């Protein structure tokens, strides 16, 4: 064999041996780094006193990043001008805090970073780091602890601020709308407990806020609030429970506007039930109007006739705690044409009504022009009920399982405010077999009446409910197979609804009890005993 060829073959064999050995011994990178970064030093030291500077630096043993700083960083007491904290989006071995605010004298400040500090490579968090300093000659060391619950739901919101307002000569109930609190902490994304630390002794108002816009001030429309029933004295060994709730929004009317011919929308905030709309402009003797609730927006639609040859109309909108005049610009626009909508479509529940609504006000209904027939072509009697504000007729009739019902509406069964009528309309709805549903029976022990028992989905949406005024078994029939949460509202005033709280009126929300979830299966029933403490 040629010597050169022999040397080539020998080299190839040796190369293959090395490659095979290398494959068998290739390292896999080692175990994943799960160690959080460590702090090497701080300038000035954590828990420093007599702080006079404007810059703080915190050094780590590896490169770190800061994430979700807006949510995670809580400064107590809050600063009017937020400090500049870096790095943001970049890696660094130190954090710099530049303070622009004028710090209060003899005050302990705490920077709570939550879980915002992570190492650069694996995002291991440095959990709940707090940097504390004092502008005086000692660190305040008292604390207030407790937990947050939701007044209605099983679990409260995440990232809830818990705050203390100092009760001194300047304190007023309105302070939560205007000023930031003296001390503040946050439950972050997983905790329902809280601890406000580094507090000085004194009298405080304790409250919690699910802050919609991050300004640490209560805004009724967007925020949830909780408050303790009385002022607290610090130091304290007590643990406080705060029930978070949404207030009913105070009524307020917004500027009305012409939407189409002879149709004016009056927007509002809060509850429209006691809202009154009165025209102040001069109108002819034949003037008529109707008011309906818009199904999609918070507004009432004011319909009128005849058409008025004017540039504007003046109205007074009133409510028990509100009154204001409004001017509405009027222009010639096309009127809305009558459209009929119905619900439900497809399946209908045994206890459900068939609802017929109009987009313009319905003023006459001829029930002789409606026929309702089952699958055996047998006519079915029905009754009707008209809700003027929703502009809806509800047709109620007895139903049997696994049946099909046809509803025919002949022309001119409905006449609207502008004398428009309907054409021939045909609908069909069906009931399901009883075996498709389940049922639940509840026995209540040590219950105080009246109360409302609700079955909800996992989001807290009510699927069925029953008002209970006296002892006895409570049955829920024809339940859709699903998982249900059991919620009991203790209806203290007997008005058959959940009443939320009010901060200014110092009213706590009504008590709510939760029980273990239940599973409802088709053609199956369960019996549960609900024991009240």
pLDDT at 272: 96
pLDDT band at 183 (very low <50, low <70, confident <90, very high): very high
pLDDT in tens, 280-316: 999 999 999 999 999 999 999 999 999 999 999 999 9
Query: What's the average model confidence in pLDDT over 410-427?
Result: 98
pLDDT in tens, 87-127: 988 899 999 999 999 999 999 999 999 889 999 988 888 98
Could you tell me which residues are beta bridge partners of residue 276? 318
pLDDT at 316: 98
Please state, rounded to an integer, the average pLDDT across all residues of the chain: 92
CA pair distance 71, 363, nearest whole angstrom:
54
The residue with tokens 């960083």 is: 73
**Stated pTM of the model:** 0.83
H or E stretch including 5? Answer: helix 3-24
pLDDT band at 28 (very low <50, low <70, confident <90, very high): low
Region for 507 from its dihedrals, namely left if φ exceeds 0, alpha if ψ lies in -120 to 50, beta otherwise: beta
CA pair distance 225, 106, nearest whole angstrom:
30
pLDDT at 70: 85
CA pair distance 428, 408, nearest whole angstrom:
9
Hey, is 9 helix, strand or coil? Answer: helix
Hey, is 257 helix, strand or coil? Answer: strand
Q: Is the dihedral of CA 369, 372, 375, 377 positive or negative?
A: negative
CA pair distance 59, 45, nearest whole angstrom:
11
3-state secondary structure 34-49: CCCCCEEEEECCCCEC
3-state secondary structure 101-146: CCCCCCCEEEEECCCCEEECCCCCECCCCEEEEECCCCCCCEEEEE
Residues, the chain, total?
533
Give 75 or 32, the one with higher predicted confidence. Answer: 75
User: Do the Cβ atoms of 501 and 484 come closer than 8 Å?
Assistant: no
pLDDT in tens, 234-284: 999 999 999 999 999 999 999 999 999 999 999 999 999 999 999 999 999
pLDDT band at 10 (very low <50, low <70, confident <90, very high): very low
DSSP assignment letter at 507: B
Closest alpha carbon to 145 in 241, 216, 231: 241
CA pair distance 122, 394, nearest whole angstrom:
61
CA pair distance 435, 524, nearest whole angstrom:
8
Could you tell me which residues are beta bridge partners of residue 95? 58
pLDDT at 328: 98
Query: Dihedrals φ, ψ of 383, to 5°?
Result: -120, 155
Res 431 pLDDT > 90: yes
Burial class (CB in 10 A: 0-12, 13-18, 19+), 531: exposed
pLDDT at 16: 45
Q: How far is CA 168 from the centre of its chain?
A: 34
pLDDT in tens, 122-181: 888 898 899 999 999 999 999 999 999 999 999 999 989 999 999 999 999 999 999 999
Query: Dihedrals φ, ψ of 352, to 5°?
Result: -90, 150
pLDDT band at 420 (very low <50, low <70, confident <90, very high): very high
pLDDT in tens, 355-402: 999 999 999 999 999 999 999 999 999 999 999 999 999 999 999 999
Res 4 pLDDT > 80: no
Sketch out the chain's domains with CATH numbers.
39-134 (2.60.40.1220), 142-244 (2.60.40.1120), 252-329 (2.60.40), 340-432 (2.60.40.1220), 436-531 (2.60.40.10)
CA pair distance 118, 292, nearest whole angstrom:
56
User: Do the Cβ atoms of 396 and 386 come closer than 8 Å?
Assistant: no
pLDDT at 30: 54
């Amino acid at each position: 064999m040629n010597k050169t060829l022999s040397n080539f073959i020998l080299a190839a064999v040796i190369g293959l041996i090395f490659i095979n050995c290398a494959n068998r011994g290739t390292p896999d990178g080692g175990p994943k780094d799960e160690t959080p970064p460590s702090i090497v030093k701080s300038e000035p030291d954590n828990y420093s006193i007599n702080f006079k500077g404007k810059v703080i630096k915190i050094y780590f043993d590896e490169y770190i990043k800061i994430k979700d700083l807006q949510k995670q960083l809580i400064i107590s007491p809050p600063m009017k001008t937020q400090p500049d904290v870096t790095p943001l989006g970049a890696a660094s071995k130190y954090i710099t805090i530049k303070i622009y605010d004028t710090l209060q004298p003899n005050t302990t400040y705490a920077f709570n970073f939550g879980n915002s500090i992570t190492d650069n490579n694996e995002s291991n968090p440095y959990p709940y780091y707090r940097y504390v300093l004092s502008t005086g000659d000692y660190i305040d060391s008292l604390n207030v602890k407790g937990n947050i619950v939701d007044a209605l739901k099983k679990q409260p919101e995440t990232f809830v601020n818990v705050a203390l307002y100092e009760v001194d000569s300047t304190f007023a109930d309105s302070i939560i709308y205007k000023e930031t609190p003296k001390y503040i902490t946050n439950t972050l994304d997983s905790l329902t407990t809280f601890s406000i630390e580094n507090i000085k002794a004194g009298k405080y108002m304790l409250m919690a806020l699910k802050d919609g816009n991050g300004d640490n001030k209560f805004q009724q429309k967007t925020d949830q609030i909780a408050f303790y029933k009385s002022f607290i004295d610090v130091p304290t060994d007590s643990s406080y429970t705060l029930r978070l709730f949404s207030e009913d929004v105070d009524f307020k009317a917004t500027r009305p506007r012409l939407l189409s011919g002879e149709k004016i929308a009056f927007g509002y905030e809060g509850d429209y039930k006691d809202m009154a709309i009165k025209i102040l402009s001069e109108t002819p003797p034949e003037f008529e109007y109707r008011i309906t609730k818009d199904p999609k927006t918070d507004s009432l639609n004011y319909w009128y006739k005849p058409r008025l040859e004017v540039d504007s109309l003046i109205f007074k909108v009133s409510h028990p705690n509100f009154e204001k005049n409004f001017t509405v610009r009027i222009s010639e626009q096309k009127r809305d044409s009558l459209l009929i909508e119905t619900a439900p479509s497809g399946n209908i529940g045994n206890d459900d009504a068939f609802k017929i609504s109009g987009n313009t006000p319905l003023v006459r209904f001829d029930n002789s022009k409606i026929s309702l027939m089952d699958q055996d072509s047998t006519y079915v009697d029905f009754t009707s009920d008209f809700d003027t504000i929703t502009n809806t007729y509800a047709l109620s009739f007895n139903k049997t399982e696994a049946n099909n019902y046809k509803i025919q509406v002949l022309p001119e069964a409905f006449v609207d405010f502008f004398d428009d009528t309907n054409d021939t309309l045909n609908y069909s709805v069906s009931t399901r077999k009883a075996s498709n549903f389940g049922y639940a029976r509840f026995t209540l022990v040590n219950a105080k009446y009246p109360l409302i028992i609700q079955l909800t989905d996992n989001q807290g949406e009510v699927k069925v409910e029953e008002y209970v005024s006296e002892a006895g078994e409570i049955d829920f029939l024809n339940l859709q197979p699903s998982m249900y949460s059991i919620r009991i509202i203790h209806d203290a005033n007997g008005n058959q609804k959940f009443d939320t709280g009010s901060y200014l009126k110092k009213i706590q929300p009504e008590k709510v009890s939760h029980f273990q979830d239940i599973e409802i299966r088709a053609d199956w029933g369960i019996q549960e005993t609900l024991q009240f403490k």
